[in-house]
Chains A and B, each alone.
Chain A
Amino acid sequence: MQNSVAEITLDIEKIRKDFPILHQEVNGFPLVYFDNAATTQKPKVVIEALENYYAGYNSNIHRGAHFLANKATIAFEDTRKTIAQFINSAEIEEVIFTKGTTDGINIVAQGYGRKFLKAGDEILISGLEHHSNIVPWQMAAEATGATLKVIPVLENGTWDINAGFKLLNENTKILAVNHVSNALGTVNPIELFIKKAREVGAKVLIDGAQSASHFDIDVQAMDCDFFVFSGHKMFGPTGCGILYGKRAVLEAMDPYQGGGEMIKEVTFEKTTYNDIPFKFEAGTPNIGDIIALKVAADYITNIGRKNIAAHINRLLKRATDGLSKIEGLRIIGTSENKIGVVSFLLDGYHPFDVGMLLDATGIAVRTGHHCAQPLMNGFGIEGTVRASFAVYNTIEEVDKLVKAVERLAARKRK
């Protein structure tokens, strides 16, 4: 039903005008940018926000007793308010600025995991995780004697729910899973698992890197303890992201880094830490990028995440339908519930070679293991070709991709 609404409300050509980078030729062809799961492009308003900050009010924030410092501090803290609304956190202070999703997960794995985990405890992740939601937990497990457990993945790229439920028990202290798989686009049934995690008393971290710009996020309704995402995958700058945490859990945690900003009082004998959010924001933060992140969040909210999702689903359906008809093409990840990503293999071609051949006609895709080597190993493959969509992509662009892959299939060499 949302589809019909979006078709009427979203003027994609108008949206495309907001993104200067899209209007260029690559290798003599108009750029078709289908690497959005890696990073999205930036609208003019975000680029201008960066320029305005550096040209107009660059200053270090908090404690500065002058005009520029005040202005920068207000803009910086405005982003916190906007993000709090963007994910519906109960309190503004529960929004911590980070470098990105990876940083957010590491803060929790080190600050919570290393403090509270002990031998015999279990951390439950899934077979669909990005390396950034595997390695920090392995490090925490190694340091504490806890064990990493993994929700198995079925042939269609979805969680094996029954097997996963058995792994979520009173030994589980942390459930850390992604909302949407970056490699396959599978939307995971996190609600079911969060509910079960609550029953067994496990803390929950949701990696929202691939979902924050597609779904209306309500961390209170979701009832997760932590929700992490990146600015650059939601039309914002690189190097900034968000760690949301429930106040009580954040207060119980150790800070991840020590330094300026995060202290209340320092003597050589003892330091007392600042309150949240500053306790987790040691050092001068990435002020300019975080200020511009507000503009990116507003940009998304103005278009409407339901509308964005509906458009992206249209693109995904068109791509899936078109690519499925190509002989020798195999889509990896065929869940009914997917968003934004189509991952595939083409007979007779290594994914790297498909990527380079598509680039020859201006189509940008990602090839390889997508930072999900265990998942690729599970499928018995080295990697895939991944096309991932954003709101500024068009049906015509999807058709170009399908035609280009058809041409490769027709030239199949072995």
Chain B
Amino acid sequence: MGIAFTAGKYIHWGVVSISLTNFLIIVGMIVIFALALVLPFPGAHQQQPQQHKPDEDES
């Protein structure tokens, strides 16, 4: 019987079976979520509307 296809790489753990690609995508999302929580966000001190930074474009 000529089956043409072969499966990619899979990780098996108990009942769980996940493709390596999907696993990396999910891990990547969790890492990005964690980074989004902890990385400082720029411009957090611009509360006074009159204050301008020297390199801002004042058009």
Q: Do chains A and B stick together as partners?
A: no
